[in-house]
Chain A
Amino acid sequence: MHMQSLVYVAGDKGVDLQSRPVPCIQNPDDVLVKVKASGVCGTDLHVIDGDFPAPLGVILGHETAGVVGKLGTEPGHLKIGDRVAILPVKACGSCNFCKTGRPNLCKKGGIANAIGLGPNGALAEYICVSKDILFKIPDDLSFKKAVLCEPMSTVIHGIDQMEPFDKDSRILVFGGGITGTLAASYLTDEGFENITVCQRSEARREFVRKQCQGFDVDVKSPEDIQNDFELHAGDDKQGFDVIFDSTGNAEVVQKSLDYLRAGGKVVIFGCAPATAEITIRPFEMFARELSMVGSYLHSNFDRAVERVASLNRKQRLNFDALGIRMFDLESYREAFSELRSKTILKAVFVMDS
């Protein structure tokens, strides 16, 4: 049996639609999932551009939802027909990091072991994964919306790393892409009110405004942020208590330290180039008690499923507002082109049965 899949290929093309064998159940805990919706993320673009390592020929895709099609001999609590979202990485479960609740730091739990970046991914009609990384989604959450569980799971972890901070905190989210927007959505859902999102392009700022309509979220350009900072020199409206960087741009992280108020914290959530560097002045860190903390990969996935389902019930996951467009696999060239030109925030491929 064969299936269509989007594959990472060498050269300018970068990605190709190819026929591949449908994967087989091999281990007792394997489950064959019929993919219903699968998203493309910024990292996938970096892979195709050769900026992020992945094996040539790998089927891309790590943001997925589908239906349980076939079970191995040890399926746990899963049944055929269950609607599921997929956590892209299976950690080992046995090392000290796993046992103490930090599977994202497990040696086997890193990006290189994620579906679509190491093993074959889910921009295909089927994927075979361990039952341990499948999470049932509620009946009122569509597959295409459930694709957001994976990015939401990373956002929740980033916000966990930011904590504790109180409801009066002034929060700045750098980057109005999908993760920055989801971070703002999560924070407004939690009742935070002093939120600013910084995004370079006006087109993207529009998406963020639409998504956060009705909530107290300021959407600004980097110039606005700098101007505000200078304008409020010395008063209590200057600077931010917590800064969430989703840009992965080292210069932005550098600037964050300037924008922090005393006692503030910046979370380095975005993935910068491996060789990028910034300068830290120890005196500043000391005198103003600043903190920097990294955030890598996911929080436990159940929370992401719950949050996405909850936002959906509150009608806050409108794909038009989020700038997410659907495509079928055959239209992949158009999808990637729109992603690159930033006319959309995310492409989600929907598989017809």
Chain B
Amino acid sequence: MPETKNLSALLSGIDDLKITDTEIPEPEANQVLLRMGPVGICGSDVHYWKHMQIGSFVVKEPMILGHESAGTVVKLGSSVKTLQVGDRVALEPGVPCKSCRFCVTGVYNLCPDIQFLATPPYHGSLRQYHCHDASFCFKLPDNVSLEEGALLEPLSVGVHANKKAGVQFGDLVLICGAGPIGLVNVMVAKAAGSSRVICTDIDNKRLDFALECGADDILNVRGMSELDVSAKLVEKFGCNPDRVIECSGAQSSMRVAVHCIRPGGKIAFVGLAPNDDVTLPIITGSVKEVEMTGIFRYANCYPTALNLVASGKVDVKKLITHRFELMESVHAFEAAFRGEGVKIVINCA
């Protein structure tokens, strides 16, 4: 077996994902070099594997995948003071420019120059060794595993969406979609003190799992008309819900959100539809003075996500249904593509 330096899951074309040896990167002054551990697969990784592009992001050069990850610090850049060798950290994958008007006003998720792992042209962290900005590495306390650290990434989407949707104590919250993103939103909505969380989907297995993740009730909407779904939800809640976090991206589900939300309520659109153009009953929404917000990734959510896991308020471990080794990455991706399980994690260590 020839000695390898840095085995990496490198995407070179459609369906062309190979474990390839690459150089071990040298950390810049503000970075740390990490020995990577668990890396979760996200729908975007699978999409790049199958299409080599998402919207205007096109993979033009071979790109290492993976952005939901955690690892151990093995080397410090020259100006790093916040971490030490041996620290186990979760990686927040998007490092912004830190100086544009979005960055300086605290909404760095909107930075046009953000370097996000495994979004072209930036390599991801599905490799044995990876360098990352130390201020975007979050040290894990002893009671939080590296796998839980990797799952802070999708959990942060849930934190951000709940914050922007304004979920508060006592709220009635509808979560549309019971995929991993719907599930983390269910978990965060419950942790945020909402009094009732109902989850919708078209798959019974996923919905049963939503109950295990803390949803108070579920509804399988397959085959139902939008207005029937809306009426059924209002019946289940007892009234119109205060907040809707839409995670499926399905037009019908987005329309249900507008129909069932209470006047003055707030909808957060997390799920991305297959097409940019979606039809919404806007007058229904307008006369109810509904607020709608888009959700794009997260900003300043990792500390909260980490606290939720470290305190035991949220259990992200249960989301991991499949585990693979780095050399088996293609199998992992195939399982993800078939829609098996909830969260598939690849171990690089």
Contact = CB atoms under 8 A, between A and B. Distances in A.
Contacts of B104: 91, 98, 101, 103, 300
A101 B105 contact: yes
A100 interface: yes
B313 interface: no
| Size bracket, chain B contacts | 10 to 19
A100 B98 contact: no
Nearest to B135: A94
B300 A99 contact: yes
A3 interface: no
Interface in A124-138: 131-133
A93 interface: yes
Contact of A76 (B97, B107, B133, B134): B97
B310 interface: no
A94 B133 contact: yes
B49 interface: no
Interface string B103-122: 11111100001000000000
B interface: dominant SS: loop
B101 interface: yes
B194 to A, nearest CB: 25
Contacts of A302: 101
Nearest to A99: B300
A102 interface: yes
Nearest to B29: A27
Interface in A333-350: none
Nearest to B133: A94
With a 10 A CB-CB cut-off, give which of A91, A95, A101, A102 has the most chain B CB atoms.
A101
Contact of B106 (A76, A91, A99): A99
A302 B97 CA distance: 16
Contacts of A132: 98-99
Contacts of B135: 94-95, 99
B106 A100 contact: yes
A166 B172 CA distance: 33
Given A99-B299, A99-B300, A100-B300, A93 B106 contact: no
Given A101-B106, A102-B106, A94 B98 contact: yes
A93 B136 CA distance: 11
Interface in A144-201: none
B29 to A, nearest CB: 10
Interface string A271-301: 0000000000000000000000000000010
Given A99-B108, A99-B299, A99-B300, A93 B103 contact: yes
Contacts of A103: 104
Nearest to B30: A94
A300 B98 CA distance: 12
Contacts of A91: 104
B156 to A, nearest CB: 13
B305 to A, nearest CB: 14
Interface string B32-69: 00000000000000000000000000000000000000
Given A76-B97, A94-B30, A101-B104, 10 more contacts: A93-B99, A98-B98, A98-B103, A98-B104, A99-B106, A101-B105, A101-B106, A102-B106, A133-B99, A300-B101
Top 10 A-B pairs, shortest CB-CB distance? A101-B106, A93-B98, A94-B135, A132-B99, A101-B105, A100-B106, A300-B104, A302-B101, A300-B101, A100-B300
10 contacts: A76-B113, A91-B104, A93-B98, A93-B103, A96-B300, A98-B103, A99-B299, A100-B106, A101-B105, A302-B101
Interface of A: 76, 91, 93-96, 98-103, 131-133, 300, 302
